[in-house]
Amino acid sequence: MRIAKDLVAASATPLVLGILAEEESYGYAILKEVSERSGGRLEWTEGLLYPLLHRLERLGYIASIWRTPEGGRKRKYYRITDEGRAELAEQRRQWAAVTEALQDVWKASRSFGPGSSPVWEG
Amino acid sequence: MSAEPDTGLEAQIAQWRTYMLRRRGMHDADVDELEDHLRGRIADLAGTGLRDDEAFLIAVKRMGGLDELSREFAREHSDRLWKQLVLTSGPDAGDTSRRRELLAMVVCAAAGAIAVKVPSWAGLGIADDADFYARNAGLLALAPLAAYFAWRRRIGAKVIGLLALLFAVGAVAANAYPLADDAQSTVLTAIHLPLALWLVVGVAYAGGEWRSERRRMDFIRFSGEWFIYFVLIALGGGVLTAFTIGTFEAIGLDASTFIAEWLLPCGAAAAIVVAAWLVEAKQSVIENMAPVLTRVFTPLFAATLLAVLVAIVWTSNGIDVERDVLILFNLLLVVVLGLLLYSISARDPAAGPGVFDWLQLALVVSALLIDVMVLLAVTGRISEWGFSPNKSAALGENVVLFVNLAWSAWLFLGLSRGRMRFARMERWQTDYVVVYAAWAWAVVLVFPPLFGFA
């Protein structure tokens, strides 16, 4: 299953903020994390992830720092800021409202649920 | 990753890096970050049993097309490519559209040149009615520029209406008030109306999106580059003028009337549009000249101002408040503000605080200290002699600039200590543009009646 582009874009910010709210991380690890959490259904491109990270940094939701581990290569780590946490909470509220509404609609049209075939075919 | 560096892989990555860096809008740090990403993926793929070169190929392929990637980067970092992004709506402007742009520029420049001469056909000579030209020069010269941007940005009817209205208001203010030729208000209008109209041109430049913070910053950048191009054209024009006079003199003809009545006014009016077109069209020729000049002159100005401060303290000489001293210090504040603006406009918003920020802070603080002394001296004088249009305007400008710089200094302090994000500084400056506009219009519209058309 491929998730539609609009949906991927809309969910990108809360996903990044949510992942960084747990602990600081870097680009590739975030990408893998997103892929794992969605069971491989959300495949982000680098063209989505890095501009998004830079935008969130510009907005002050996350902050970055270059770290060079011993004997390793330098790597850019991101961590969430207080403003970012506030934004995450706000996004959570909005997403909760959306999913609640969707659940309601799904329940009303249960016969169209995943896997079941529409009634008039039977 | 293997312990000993694989030269084949390293060479491939190095080559990939150079390809990436060639893209516009990609900075070193971005490529570093992407390289780390690439290496992470290569290591993972190699862990599943692929050879390094196979892993490299797959990792690069997964990263997607370079074009798409760099376009996404460019969209976020529009400041790096501000000109291209604002200007070209499509990916690549073809030959025909470029020719159309050239044609539009020539038409608007010609319109400017003709507009300057139109009043003389109605019997208003440049030499005899200098005050008329002083008041209206900004209107005549900037209207074609606004028209050019209105065409270029394909502005909607509503915004065009707004632009026309603002220019009409300017025309009324410049001509309807019963101002004497030598009234102070005439001079003030001559200075402030072009400023006010320049910001109206900014509305056209932003394609009507004048509320957008980023578009405003783009316009600030544009203004700096435009100024540099204009000065360059003026220098060329100066050389042309000198040669015209010299060569005609050599054959016994006097060209000075032609120069004064035609070449200078028409040339200057046309140059306004041509300079704007150059900024737009020749993006990479002297890209970001204003920030380069800023880098050179910020330390020099900071040193000079500190020297002045030291000299004042050392000799305990007060500032002698002559007639023109306020103007001089206003200009100084304008220069300091310019240095500040153009270093802001070119700064990487994500970059941390650096030495240059401290330098800039020193520059702003020393300018403020000197200005406080001037303000104190001038207020004393005004309370003694009362307000005149000139003094009020100069004082008002001083206050407007002072407030901006004082708050900037405060923001800079936070920035230099790493406590504040750079975006707030940018925000402050782009928001403050409204204050300049309001002040310029106030001087043009309110001052003449307020001071009895003195």
| Ranges of residues in chain A whose predicted pLDDT is under 50 | 121-122
The model's confidence at residue B235, banded by pLDDT at 50, 70 and 90, is: very high
What local confidence, expressed as pLDDT, does residue B387 receive? 76
CB contact under 8 A, A76 and B29: yes
Please say whether the dihedral angle defined by the alpha carbons of residues B63, B66, B68 and B70, taken in this order, is positive or negative: positive
The two three-digit tokens of residue B73, written as one number: 């980067």
Average of per-residue pLDDT values in chain B: 81
Which of B31, B48, B72 to probe the A interface (max A CBs under 10 A)? B72
Across the range B253-278, mean pLDDT stands at: 87
Burial of B67-99, coded b for 16+ CB within 10 Å and e otherwise, reads eebbbbbbebbbbbbbbbbbbeeeeeeeeeeee
pLDDT surpassing 70 at residue B181:
no
Nearest residue to B234 (alpha-carbon basis) of B208, B285, B269: B269
Question: Could you tell me which residues come within 8 angstroms of residue B203 by beta carbon, excluding any fewer than 6 positions away?
Answer: B159, B162, B163, B166, B210
Cα–chain-centroid distance for residue B393? 23
The model's confidence at residue B32, banded by pLDDT at 50, 70 and 90, is: confident
What local confidence, expressed as pLDDT, does residue B89 receive? 42
Give the percent of chain B with pLDDT over 90. 14
* Alpha-carbon gap, residue B17 to B28, rounded angstroms: 9
* Alpha-carbon gap, residue B331 to B191, rounded angstroms: 13
Question: Chain B partners of A27 at a C-beta cutoff of 8 Å?
Answer: 33, 36-37
What local confidence, expressed as pLDDT, does residue B280 receive? 80
Chain A residues contacting B via beta carbons under 8 Å:
26-29, 31, 45-48, 50-52, 54-55, 57-60, 64, 73-76
Across the range B167-180, mean pLDDT stands at: 84
pLDDT surpassing 80 at residue B283:
no
Across the range B88-97, mean pLDDT stands at: 54
Q: Which helix (H) or strand (E) holds B13?
A: helix B7-22
Q: What is the dihedral of CA B103, B106, B108, B112, to 10 degrees?
A: -170
CA distance B201 to chain A (A): 28
Q: Are B440 and B189 in contact (CB under 8 A)?
A: no
CB contact under 8 A, A73 and B73: no
ipTM, interface predicted TM-score of the complex? 0.77
Q: Which residues in chain B (53-82) have CB-CB distances under 8 A to chain A?
A: 63-64, 68-69, 71-73, 75-77
A–B CB contacts, 8 A cutoff, strictly below: 62
What local confidence, expressed as pLDDT, does residue A88 receive? 92
What local confidence, expressed as pLDDT, does residue B320 receive? 65
The model's confidence at residue B83, banded by pLDDT at 50, 70 and 90, is: very low
Partner A contacted by B423 (CB < 8 A) = yes
Burial of B141-152, coded b for 16+ CB within 10 Å and e otherwise, reads bbbbbbbbbbbb
Lowest mean pLDDT among B125-134, B253-262, B333-342, B392-401: B125-134
Burial class (CB in 10 A: 0-12, 13-18, 19+), A31: buried
Q: Which residue segments constitute the domains of chain A, with CATH numbers given?
A: 5-108 (1.10.10.10)
CB contact under 8 A, A27 and B36: yes
Burial class (CB in 10 A: 0-12, 13-18, 19+), B223: buried
Average of per-residue pLDDT values in chain A: 84
The model's confidence at residue B434, banded by pLDDT at 50, 70 and 90, is: very high
